[in-house]
Amino acid sequence: MPSLTIDGTELNYQLTGKGRPAFVLIHGGCCALSDWHAQIDGLSRDSTVLAMDLRSHGGSTGTEVLLSVRRWAADVNALIEALDLAPAIIVGHSLGSRIASEVVVQRPANAAALVLLDGSRVIGGLAATEPQPGSTKAQGGDMSLAAILDRTAGPYADAATRAHVIRTMSSPPEAVMWAAVKALEDWDRERADEVLAALPRQLPVLAIQSTYHDNFTPRCSFDSDRESSPYLDHLRKALPQLAVQILPRTGHFSMMERPEEVTTALREFGLAATRG
């Protein structure tokens, strides 16, 4: 695969298809661009699609020292500009939803629309600040890594999806795993509200949501498309233009569990956001 070198770090990426709008797909923490296989295949039939491995992930180089949401976002913007993809539909999953939001605020001209795929707010916003009676901390507590990854995959993932998630998320060095967790929590605590307030109000934003969790609420899936969550309620208050699509009875990796629905939602939202 091709790569772009920034400050000595090689950013591995895959660029497929042609046409507009262009889609930029940003994976989650300790994940890889391979999470987007179905969307790369589906969207590239009539659009340009960029998927990348974040620094220190997948085929990209880097160490835990420079890992932050802002640094990852700057890398994404560098790729968008180097490949002349702006304005693009910026799509981020999980930790990638934070990076996608930061991408837009850093370089508003690079974004035609923003999609937050099963994002969250583990600290701040309307996230729980105290544990509920009998609960364990959602991000691990005394659980083993295997148990944490199994919970992250969720109860609805098939065997192939579960195996992919566990294999991919257990691949990075432990130092990178902890640096990614710290980067997520630091951004939620120190930067999230500022970024939400700075997002252009004319920018179309879509949240595709299947689960909810915070630091004291173990991840749970929605049972109905009529449900909401503290995270979604916070987004709706901060972003009046927000559109929401709920995928009930689906785990955290909806792009792999329900690939056709997610791909269709991205294509239709992207076309509507750039029409005219």
DSSP string for 153-212 = H-TT--HHHHHHHHHHHTSS-HHHHHHHHHHHHHHHHHTHHHHHHHS-TTS-EEEEE-EE
Spatial separation of the C-alpha atoms in residues 185 and 176, rounded to whole Å: 14
* Cβ–Cβ under 8 Å, residues 26 and 55: no
Query: Could you tell me which of 109, 156, 167, 137 has the C-alpha nearest to residue 251?
Result: 156
Counting residues of the chain whose pLDDT is more than 90, the rounded percentage is 87
Element spanning 263, H or E = helix 259-274
Mean of pLDDT values over 38-43: 98
Q: Quick check: helix, strand or coil at residue 50?
A: strand
pTM of the model: 0.96
Asked if residue 130 has pLDDT above 90, the reply is no
Q: For the domain made up of 3-274, give the CATH fold.
A: Rossmann fold (3.40.50)
pLDDT, tens digit, 9 for 90 and up, residues 133-170: 666 555 555 678 888 899 899 999 999 999 999 999 99
Q: Is the peptide bond before 87 cis (omega within 30 degrees of 0)?
A: yes
| pLDDT for res 65 | 84
Spatial separation of the C-alpha atoms in residues 108 and 98, rounded to whole Å: 15
Q: pLDDT higher for 142 or 261? A: 261
Spatial separation of the C-alpha atoms in residues 211 and 253, rounded to whole Å: 9
Q: Quick one: how many helices (H) and strands (E) in the chain? A: 10, 10
Among the residue ranges 79-93, 142-156, 207-221, 244-258, the one predicted with the least confidence is 142-156
The ranges assigned to domains in the chain are 3-274
* Both structure tokens of 110: 């690079």
* Cβ–Cβ under 8 Å, residues 248 and 114: no
**Residue that is written with structure tokens 């661009």 in the block:** 33
Spatial separation of the C-alpha atoms in residues 216 and 236, rounded to whole Å: 22
| pLDDT for res 81 | 98
Asked if residue 226 has pLDDT above 80, the reply is yes
Spatial separation of the C-alpha atoms in residues 46 and 44, rounded to whole Å: 5
pLDDT, tens digit, 9 for 90 and up, residues 109-128: 999 999 999 999 999 999 99
| Residue 129, amino acid | T
Mean of pLDDT values over 210-225: 95
Angle at 42 between CA 40 and CA 46, to 5 degrees: 100
CA distances from 233 to 18, 45, 239, 241 (A): 36, 35, 10, 13
Average confidence score pLDDT of the chain: 94
Element spanning 113, H or E = strand 111-117
Query: Could you tell me which of 114, 69, 52, 53 has the C-alpha nearest to residue 87?
Result: 114
